[in-house]
Amino acid sequence: MAEATGKTVRVGMVGVGSRGTHLLQTLLQIPGVAVPAIGDINQEHAARAQDLVEQATGRRPEAYTRDERHFEALCAREDLDAVVCATSWQWHTPVMLAAMRARKYGGTEVPAGLTLDELWALVRTSEATGMPCMMLENVNYFQNVLALLRMVREGAFGELLHCEAGYQHDCRFLLFTEDGKLTWRGEHYARLNGNLYPTHPIGPIAWWLDINRGDRFVSLSSVSSPAEGMRRYAAAKFGADHPLAKRDYAHGDVNTTLLRTARGRTVTLYFDCCTPRPYDLIFRLQGTQGIYSGTLDQIYLEGVSPQSDQWEPFGPYQERYAHPLWKDLEAEARRNGGHGGCDYLVMYEFVQAVRRQTPTPQDVYDAACWSAVVPLSVESVAKGGAQIEFPDFTRGQWKTAPRLPITGA
Amino acid sequence: MAEATGKTVRVGMVGVGSRGTHLLQTLLQIPGVAVPAIGDINQEHAARAQDLVEQATGRRPEAYTRDERHFEALCAREDLDAVVCATSWQWHTPVMLAAMRARKYGGTEVPAGLTLDELWALVRTSEATGMPCMMLENVNYFQNVLALLRMVREGAFGELLHCEAGYQHDCRFLLFTEDGKLTWRGEHYARLNGNLYPTHPIGPIAWWLDINRGDRFVSLSSVSSPAEGMRRYAAAKFGADHPLAKRDYAHGDVNTTLLRTARGRTVTLYFDCCTPRPYDLIFRLQGTQGIYSGTLDQIYLEGVSPQSDQWEPFGPYQERYAHPLWKDLEAEARRNGGHGGCDYLVMYEFVQAVRRQTPTPQDVYDAACWSAVVPLSVESVAKGGAQIEFPDFTRGQWKTAPRLPITGA
């Protein structure tokens, strides 16, 4: 396997639909990456990905398209260092398990799994094989998120007290096909009521709060509003008599989840993808010395901000506290990557960990912990908002695990 | 008693400190109001209030300053139609009970009570005496709040799903005296951990959601962040060795409470008064057709707003959906009242109900329900965020009680 900086990192890519194709393109723009294998049951998608790789590298990767389990043969190849997975949600865990068992680094789109059994399987398999598994949570690499991480570490907010974030994004268009069926994503919404997409908001918060590295989530409570969005959207799109406009959907439109940590800090999470609304991740970060609002992109720090208890723009702070990764890679990130550059950075970090054979910055405990909000919130909603205990995937290691280092490229 | 429009309304005023003096001044600016009696154990405050009334009306009111129970003699006077209370929190319920038992309309500052026993006593006493008790929740009369109420009624938001609001206001200066003691408010913060000031945010939400008039709160869950703010503030103000800088305080700095209604709608409430932060009541109002954000003072309505899923300014909507009270009284409200005019409007509404001998727009069930978040959140926080059942103060009447009418002056 590649062992030193400069060595080529060989990645097998499983799932090259819309998101997977984008991640593949990002991957191909990182220096020193080869893609010898592509897996997807959709042959057109696989061929499109083969073309992309061939155009970029001159070598056409082998395709694994035979059936839903063909990724196992891909993972078993001897000429791979890592497997990246961007399938639909229910295949993330099976692909990662196969990758780790075949001694490959695993990198998966979010969420890493949908059930506690899946998430424990990821943890146990990573521990048993010694292979890292990184959930490719890109929002952790937003420019403001990483500058705020530096500010937290340098004490700008004092002791942290509370954070709030949400995946609030009108995604109704992703839930139905044009010809009147549910997409795979829509199927999940139709059967599960809870926070089905927690990792974008909780990932940055977990880094700010040193979750799994000095603190941990101990419990949550979750409630959902009525489920109106999907039925109404289907009625508008397909007509009031269409079966999709008349059926029931499990997923309450606005889900709110409250979490507590071992050190007593609190977190509010929203999941709101079935209503007409502007995009807003919220990102409230609050400590004894001040508060940041992502909704406003403004900040207030006591004794620092010019006017008492008045917001000021965050821009200058983002520059002053620029994270070394952004200092080193801003040009490449902006030129190449989606989502404001963070897709490039998360993929870059994954590739570098593989190249150096080091732990990934988001480890398997993070993947399990951040994704666990899915099954735990579903359980809490079903029990009328009852407090649900949060499993400690680290089994006590959170007390002594060192903080995530703040380092450059 | 005064029975028709135009008759003078005679109000006894109990508690004329900072807030009470302001309410008294507001009261004196409403046409047709007399104030024959003032109650306060602070003789200077009482004398100041007597002067104010005498200057405004030519008649000097009688003062009740003998002891903490002297308000009972005030309430018993034959020449009063109503008693308004702006004492410290723990006297609101006793004053209201005395007023109603003496057949006076009661109007009280927020919260109406601090314990479930107090709140049930208010409900039972109002029912037994037939006397209304109105909590003078002024935020319900904000211009945006009332325009939004009209929009809700006219279906602009579709079916309501979720609301969020918070009392988020750096009030640390109200918790300590200049000479190094806790104020009465600070004493409450020192002993109670929960949402101690819920009525400003929950009042408008309760009107939007028809709480007690078609829906009701059925349960809540509440968590608090660590308690750091008061100790740190005391250390900065009085020195690190001062006893107030070394003691423990019960009140967690940021309290978050989640409520559910019988119809499945959800509400998030914040209480955040011990941290350095800009003022923000949040006021998120969300339905199947759109969303309003008070933080941004922007709105999005599907099919109405010009750009898909993009905010637009709320100002034009506030004008188009102006509440009749604001249409009728905007000039007086702005000229006379505090908090942008809403102090005038809430007092005006109270006086009009007394004058007309009609029910008050906020009734005793609202007072009890909105204030009940105090003891219920304290109980939930103490139980680690457990779900707590919300009492139905209306005992079933919420199912048939008519919606609050939208009427002018």
Please report, for the domain that includes residue B33, its CATH number: 3.40.50.720
Question: Where are any strands of DSSP class E within B273-378?
Answer: 284-287, 290-293, 298-301, 312-313
Query: Is there a domain that residue A349 lies in?
Result: no
Q: Do A161 and B311 touch (CB under 8 A)?
A: no
Please tell me the distance from the alpha carbon of residue A189 to that of residue A247, in angstroms, as a whole number: 13
Instruction: Say whether pLDDT at A1 is over 60.
Output: no
Q: Which helix H or strand E contains B331, and what residues bound it?
A: helix B324-336
Please tell me the distance from the alpha carbon of residue B83 to that of residue B11, in angstroms, as a whole number: 5
Instruction: Say whether pLDDT at A279 is over 70.
Output: yes
Query: Is there a domain that residue B1 lies in?
Result: no
| Contact of B278 with A302, CB cutoff 8 Å | no
Nearest by CB: B384 against A268, A279, A387: A387
- What are the φ and ψ backbone dihedral angles of A325, each rounded to 5 degrees? -60, -45
In this structure, what is the dihedral angle of CA atoms B37, B42, B47, B48, given to the nearest 10 degrees?
-100
Residues of A in contact with B231 (CB under 8 A): none
| Closest CA relative to residue B323, chosen from B154, B192, B150, B94 | B150
Q: Do B232 and A293 touch (CB under 8 A)?
A: no
ipTM: 0.95
Question: Where are any strands of DSSP class E within A265-335?
Answer: 266-272, 284-287, 290-293, 298-301, 312-313
Instruction: Say whether pLDDT at A4 is over 80.
Output: no
Nearest by CB: A224 against B158, B170, B266: B266
Give the domain range for residue B183. 140-327+364-399
- What are the φ and ψ backbone dihedral angles of B331, each rounded to 5 degrees? -65, -50
Residues of B in contact with A272 (CB under 8 A): 162, 286
Please tell me the distance from the alpha carbon of residue B132 to that of residue B102, in angstroms, as a whole number: 12
Residues of A in contact with B384 (CB under 8 A): 219, 260, 387
Residues of B in contact with A384 (CB under 8 A): 219, 260, 387
Exposure b/e, A159-187, CB count within 10 A at least 16 = b: ebbbbbbbbbbbbbeebbeeeeebeebbe
Please tell me the distance from the alpha carbon of residue B128 to that of residue A323, in angstroms, as a whole number: 66
What separation, in Å, do the N-terminal and C-terminal C-alpha atoms of chain B show? 21
Please tell me the distance from the alpha carbon of residue A198 to that of residue A221, in angstroms, as a whole number: 14
Nearest by CB: A221 against B253, B258, B263: B258
User: Which positions ≥6 away from B40 have C-beta within 8 Å?
Assistant: B14, B15, B16, B17, B20, B46, B49, B63, B64, B65
Nearest by CB: B260 against A158, A223, A228: A223
Least confident of A243-247, A268-272, A392-396, B4-8: B4-8
Query: Is there a domain that residue B335 lies in?
Result: no
Q: Do B226 and A159 touch (CB under 8 A)?
A: yes
Q: How many CB pairs under 8 A join A and B?
A: 157
For residue B224, the distance in angstroms to the closest alpha carbon of chain A comes to 7
Query: Is there a domain that residue A354 lies in?
Result: no
Sole residue written with tokens 């990192």 = A9
Residues of A in contact with B256 (CB under 8 A): 162, 258, 266, 268
pLDDT at B4: 43
In this structure, what is the dihedral angle of CA atoms A280, A281, A287, A290, given to the nearest 10 degrees?
-30
Residues of A in contact with B301 (CB under 8 A): 276
pLDDT at B3: 42
A288 shares its domain with A154: yes
Query: What is the pLDDT averaged over residues B311-332?
Result: 97
Q: Tokens standing for B409? A: 């002056």
Interior angle at CA B66, CA B62 and CA B72, nearest 5? 75
Task: Work out the mean pLDDT of chain B and round it to a whole number.
Answer: 96
B301 shares its domain with B373: yes
Q: DSSP readout, A112-157?
A: S-SSHHHHHHHHHHHHHH---EEE--GGGG-HHHHHHHHHHHTTTT
Please tell me the distance from the alpha carbon of residue A160 to that of residue A286, in angstroms, as a whole number: 6
Last residue of a domain, one of B83, B101, B135: B135
Residue of A nearest to B263 (CA): A226
Task: Work out the mean pLDDT of chain A and round it to a whole number.
Answer: 96
pLDDT at B5: 53
* Amino acid code (one letter) for A243: P
Instruction: Say whether pLDDT at A81 is over 70.
Output: yes
Task: Kindly state the greatest CA–CA separation across chain A.
Answer: 64
pLDDT at A5: 53
Please tell me the distance from the alpha carbon of residue A263 to that of residue B382, in angstroms, as a whole number: 16
Radius of gyration (C-alpha) of chain B in whole angstroms: 21
Query: What is the pLDDT averaged over residues A299-314?
Result: 98
Residues of B in contact with A386 (CB under 8 A): 386-387
The total number of structural domains in chain B stands at 2
Query: What is the pLDDT averaged over residues A361-376?
Result: 98
For residue B355, the distance in angstroms to the closest alpha carbon of chain A comes to 41
A261 shares its domain with A376: yes
Residue of A nearest to B297 (CA): A296
| Residue A340 pLDDT level (bands cut at 50, 70, 90) | confident
Residue of A nearest to B231 (CA): A288
Sole residue written with tokens 């009140």 = B251
B206 shares its domain with B308: yes
Q: Which residue of B159, B160, B161 is the best one to mutate when testing the A interface, meaning the one whose CB has the most A CBs within 10 A?
A: B161
pLDDT at A153: 98
Please tell me the distance from the alpha carbon of residue A377 to that of residue A114, in angstroms, as a whole number: 11
Please tell me the distance from the alpha carbon of residue A330 to that of residue A326, in angstroms, as a whole number: 5
Q: Decide: helix, strand or coil at residue A300.
A: strand
Query: Is there a domain that residue B105 lies in?
Result: yes
Pairing assessment for the beta strands A160-168 and A312-313 based on DSSP bridges: unpaired
Q: Tokens standing for B191? A: 């002993």
Query: What is the pLDDT averaged over residues B360-379?
Result: 98
pLDDT at B337: 74
B247 shares its domain with B379: yes
For residue A136, the distance in angstroms to the closest alpha carbon of chain B comes to 27
- What are the φ and ψ backbone dihedral angles of A165, each rounded to 5 degrees? -155, 165
Query: Is there a domain that residue B116 lies in?
Result: yes
Exposure b/e, B85-99, CB count within 10 A at least 16 = b: bbbebebbbbbbbbb
Q: Which residue of B162, B169, B233 is the best one to mutate when testing the A interface, meaning the one whose CB has the most A CBs within 10 A?
A: B162
Please tell me the distance from the alpha carbon of residue A125 to that of residue A112, in angstroms, as a whole number: 13
Q: Tokens standing for A99? A: 């990758």
Q: Do A275 and B291 touch (CB under 8 A)?
A: yes
Please tell me the distance from the alpha carbon of residue A65 to that of residue A43, in angstroms, as a whole number: 6
Last residue of a domain, one of A135, A156, A178: A135
| Contact of A307 with A301, CB cutoff 8 Å | no
| Contact of A105 with A33, CB cutoff 8 Å | no
B256 shares its domain with B289: yes
pLDDT at B339: 82
Please write the tens of the pLDDT for every residue from A104-117: 999 999 999 999 99
B299 shares its domain with B170: yes
Please write the tens of the pLDDT for every residue from B30-84: 999 999 999 999 999 999 999 999 999 999 999 999 999 999 999 999 999 999 9
| Contact of A12 with A76, CB cutoff 8 Å | no
Q: Tokens standing for A252? A: 């309450």
A163 shares its domain with A131: no
For residue A51, the distance in angstroms to the closest alpha carbon of chain B comes to 35
The CATH number of the domain holding residue A294 is: 3.30.360.10
Query: Is there a domain that residue B407 lies in?
Result: no
Q: Tokens standing for A127? A: 């521990």
Angle between helices A184-191 and A229-238 (to 10 degrees): 140
| Residue A129 pLDDT level (bands cut at 50, 70, 90) | very high
Angle between helices A364-371 and A116-129 (to 10 degrees): 180
For residue B376, the distance in angstroms to the closest alpha carbon of chain A comes to 15
For residue A398, the distance in angstroms to the closest alpha carbon of chain B comes to 20
Q: A194 burial class (0-12, 13-18, 19+ CB within 10 angstroms)?
A: buried
- Give the Cβ contact number of residue B296 at 10 Å: 15
Q: Do B253 and A279 touch (CB under 8 A)?
A: no
| Contact of A205 with A198, CB cutoff 8 Å | no
Please tell me the distance from the alpha carbon of residue B202 to that of residue B140, in angstroms, as a whole number: 9
Please write the tens of the pLDDT for every residue from A11-45: 999 999 999 999 999 999 999 999 999 999 999 99
Query: What is the pLDDT averaged over residues B388-402?
Result: 98
Q: Which residue of B170, B208, B277 is the best one to mutate when testing the A interface, meaning the one whose CB has the most A CBs within 10 A?
A: B277
Q: DSSP readout, B356-409?
A: HT---SS-HHHHHHHHTHHHHHHHHHHTTS--EEPP-TTTTGGGTPPPPP----
For residue B76, the distance in angstroms to the closest alpha carbon of chain A comes to 45
Q: Do A268 and B256 touch (CB under 8 A)?
A: yes
| Closest CA relative to residue B85, chosen from B135, B47, B51, B119 | B135
Last residue of a domain, one of B98, B115, B135: B135
Residues of A in contact with B275 (CB under 8 A): 161, 286-288, 291
Beta-bridge mates of residue A12 = A37, A83
| Closest CA relative to residue A244, chosen from A194, A342, A298, A176 | A176
Strand order in the sheet with B33-39: B62-64, B33-39, B9-14, B82-85, B105-108, B133-135
- Give the Cβ contact number of residue B130 at 10 Å: 8
Instruction: Say whether pLDDT at B2 is over 50.
Output: no
A126 shares its domain with A241: no
For residue A386, the distance in angstroms to the closest alpha carbon of chain B comes to 6
Instruction: Say whether pLDDT at A3 is over 70.
Output: no
Residues of B in contact with A289 (CB under 8 A): 276
| Residue B403 pLDDT level (bands cut at 50, 70, 90) | very high
Please tell me the distance from the alpha carbon of residue A27 to that of residue B406, in angstroms, as a whole number: 59
| Contact of A120 with A297, CB cutoff 8 Å | no
For residue B319, the distance in angstroms to the closest alpha carbon of chain A comes to 22
Q: Which residue of B254, B268, B280 is the best one to mutate when testing the A interface, meaning the one whose CB has the most A CBs within 10 A?
A: B254
Residues of A in contact with B224 (CB under 8 A): 266
B164 shares its domain with B297: yes
What separation, in Å, do the N-terminal and C-terminal C-alpha atoms of chain A show? 21
A237 shares its domain with A285: yes
B126 shares its domain with B205: no
3-state DSSP percent of chain B in helix, strand and coil, to 5: 40, 20, 40
Query: Is there a domain that residue B349 lies in?
Result: no
